[in-house]
C-alpha cells in the first residue's frame, strides 16, 4: 500500500473490479437488510435493542441524536473533500494552498487563531485593498453598535 496516496487521490488507484465489488456490496446491504423498513415507519430498526431502546421516548431521542450527528458528519466529509481538493490534505495544511486570495489579508487587524482570516462569502476575493479597508471600518462600526445594543438589551433585565 505504499504507492496508494492519501485522500481523494486514492480513488484513482482503485481498479475497476474493486469498484464493482464496492457497488455489489452496497447493493447487497441495501436489498438484503429489508428495503421495506421505510413503509413501516421504522427505518434502520433491525430489532437490536442494545444501542437503541425499548422505550419509545428514549428511542426517539437516540434517533434524533443519530440524525443530527449524521447531518454533521455529512457536512464534515464534504468539507474534508473540498479541503483535500484544494490542499492535497484533508487535515488542514493550508500552507500548501498558496493560491488562496485570502492570503492577501492574513496579516491585517482582526485575524485571529484558529480561524485566521475569515471571509466565508468571499467579499475580499478580488484582493482590493481599498474595499477591504472600507469593509473593515464598517465591520468595526457595526460591531461597536451591536455591543452597545446588547448592553442596552441586558440592562433593563
- Is residue 77 predicted with pLDDT exceeding 70? yes
The pLDDT value recorded for residue 98 is 62
Per-position b or e across 99-117, b if 16+ CB within 10 A of its CB = eeebebbeeeeeeeeeeeb
- What pTM was estimated for this model as a whole? 0.47
Better-scored residue on pLDDT, 55 or 1 = 55
Amino acid at each position: 500500500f505504499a504507492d496508494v496516496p492519501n485522500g481523494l487521490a486514492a480513488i484513482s488507484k482503485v481498479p475497476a473490479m474493486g469498484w464493482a465489488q464496492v457497488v455489489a456490496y452496497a447493493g447487497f446491504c441495501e436489498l438484503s437488510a429489508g428495503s421495506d423498513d421505510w413503509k413501516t415507519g421504522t427505518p434502520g430498526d433491525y430489532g437490536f435493542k442494545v444501542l437503541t431502546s425499548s422505550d419509545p421516548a428514549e428511542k426517539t431521542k437516540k434517533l434524533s441524536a443519530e440524525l443530527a450527528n449524521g447531518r454533521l458528519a455529512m457536512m464534515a466529509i464534504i468539507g474534508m473533500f473540498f479541503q483535500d481538493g484544494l490542499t492535497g490534505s484533508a487535515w488542514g495544511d493550508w500552507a500548501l494552498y498558496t493560491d488562496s486570495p485570502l492570503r492577501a489579508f492574513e496579516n491585517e487587524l482582526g485575524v485571529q487563531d484558529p480561524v485566521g482570516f475569515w471571509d466565508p462569502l468571499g467579499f475580499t476575493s478580488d484582493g482590493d485593498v481599498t474595499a477591504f479597508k472600507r469593509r473593515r471600518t464598517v465591520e468595526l462600526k457595526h460591531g461597536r453598535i451591536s455591543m452597545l445594543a446588547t448592553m442596552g438589551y441586558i440592562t433593563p433585565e
